Amino acid sequence: MEVGIVQVVQSWMFEGMSDAEVYAQELRCGVLADELNFDHLWVVEHHFEDYSFCPDNFVYLAHLAGKTQRIKLATGSCIIPWNDQPLRIAEKAALLDQLSGGRAILGIGRGLSRREFDRFGISMDESRDRFDEASPAIIEALETGTFPTLNGKFYKQPEAPLRPEPLSNDWRKTRVTQVAMSPDSAEQAAKLGVQMMAFNYKAPDKQKQELDDYAALFQKLHGYAPRPPLLTEMTICDHDAKRARENAEKHVAGYCASVLHHYEMLGDHYKDAKGYKAYGDAVDMMKAAGKENIAKAYVEQQIWGTPDQMLRKFEERWDYFGPYGVLACFRFAGTPMDVVERSMKLFAAEVAPVLRTWSAESPPKKASAAA
């Protein structure tokens, strides 16, 4: 089982904290993740707001490459419609791979926030078509070293070599991941032949259906099974169960509030936006539930607690979904650094070693923390 971390670069609920302090904390966590032997580190692309602000995750990861030794470095994700030239995405991925000694992972997505689309002057209605037009060319460029000619609706690009050239040609099968938070995005990930990643917020039966549909379509199109998907959790790990719950009810709930705000999840605009039907269909149900109940359900859905409590939850998740990888997010919504570092260290010492023994051939038996 793969075990990585996600950094959301958030100042939401971090009262009085400067942007410089946010980055100092995230970099501190990134170096610690390398020291604690997490498999990979993912950093988001977001713009403008306290919810998250990492306008160029390639720049951030290139800086982190010089501060770390072995951890793989992933864009989680690069939002293709917000980057005017797909060629530049391929170039930056190849350069990051060179600078990191072959540790780069390209995570890609199409974006969800109207606040961000509007400020870039790009219609949300175009996001699916822009992503579908550009993403195959980006992957082809990384695997061949040459960006192909594009003459599509949105992108006009003559053939161009990538310099520096990519270090390897195994990107599609091993080093490209698509954030897929809707059924049509999961379908596109299967068509591209890449790994799927999702943030854990849906009802388990809906998430399982999307994962199963993705795996079935992938197998049908490519003749082999996809890599296990990656699921992201907002994580607090603590030997004190009471303290873990208190922190989860404050900070995990706070992160949920930031998501509802930034993405305007209760907004009717999703009903009319092209390519966002799954979100539009959920609006009325979410409005009926109300923000407080949404937050409570979200807190209980994430995996947090003592190492033993967390391993039991991971085991239940594995039993239901099948093999998958976990991406743990530790710093979010005002979580103090002592809590963040305690969570990371305890998770790395007592949870991750057990998770890494799980595989399709050796599924979990009875979860218990590492001695």
pLDDT at 371 over 60: no
Summary mean pLDDT of the chain: 96
Q: pLDDT by residue (tens digit) across 271-287?
A: 999 999 889 988 888 99
Q: Is 316 a residue whose pLDDT tops 50?
A: yes
pLDDT tier at 365 (50, 70, 90 boundaries)?
Answer: confident
Q: Phi/psi at 237 (nearest 5 deg)?
A: -120, 130
User: Quick one: CATH architecture of 3-235+308-355?
Assistant: Alpha-Beta Barrel (3.20)
Q: Where do we find the tokens 């030997």?
A: 239
Which pair of tokens denotes residue 43? 């950093």
Say what the pLDDT of residue 74 is.
98
pLDDT of residue 157: 94
| Residue 11 backbone dihedrals phi, psi, to 5 degrees | -115, 0
Q: Indicate whether 291 pLDDT > 90.
A: yes
In this predicted structure, the answer to whether residue 88 has a pLDDT above a threshold of 50 is: yes
Tens of pLDDT, residues 31-79? 999 999 999 999 999 999 999 999 999 999 999 999 999 999 999 999 9
Residues 6+ apart with CB under 8 A from 229: 195, 196, 197, 198, 211, 214, 324, 325
Domain boundaries, the chain: 3-235+308-355
**What values do phi and psi take at 270, rounded to 5?**
-65, -25
pLDDT, tens digit (0-9, with 9 covering 90-100), for 100-144: 999 999 999 999 999 999 999 999 999 999 999 999 999 999 999
Residue 290 neighbours by CB distance under 10 Å: 11
Backbone dihedral angles phi then psi of residue 12, each to the nearest 5 degrees: -55, 125
pLDDT tens, position by position, 147-193:
999 999 999 999 999 999 999 999 999 999 999 999 999 999 999 99
Say how many C-beta atoms besides its own lie within 10 A of residue 298's C-beta.
19
pLDDT tens, position by position, 15-28? 999 999 999 999 99
CA of residue 52 relative to chain centroid, distance: 13
The 10s digit of each residue's pLDDT in 235-268 is 999 999 999 999 999 999 999 999 999 999 999 9
pLDDT band at 366 (very low <50, low <70, confident <90, very high): low
Using CA atoms, how far apart are residues 133 and 96, in angstroms rounded to an integer? 23
Residue 34 CB burial class (10 angstroms; 0-12, 13-18, ≥19): middle
Two tokens at 310?
């967390």
CA dihedral 166, 171, 177, 183 (to 10 degrees): 130
pLDDT at 239: 98
List beta partners, residue 3.
326
Backbone angles phi, psi at 5, to 5 degrees: -125, 155
Q: Are 47 and 119 in contact (CB under 8 A)?
A: yes
Q: Are strands 72-75 and 104-109 parallel, antiparallel or unpaired?
A: parallel
What is the C-alpha to C-alpha distance for residues 249 and 247, in angstroms, rounded to an integer?
6
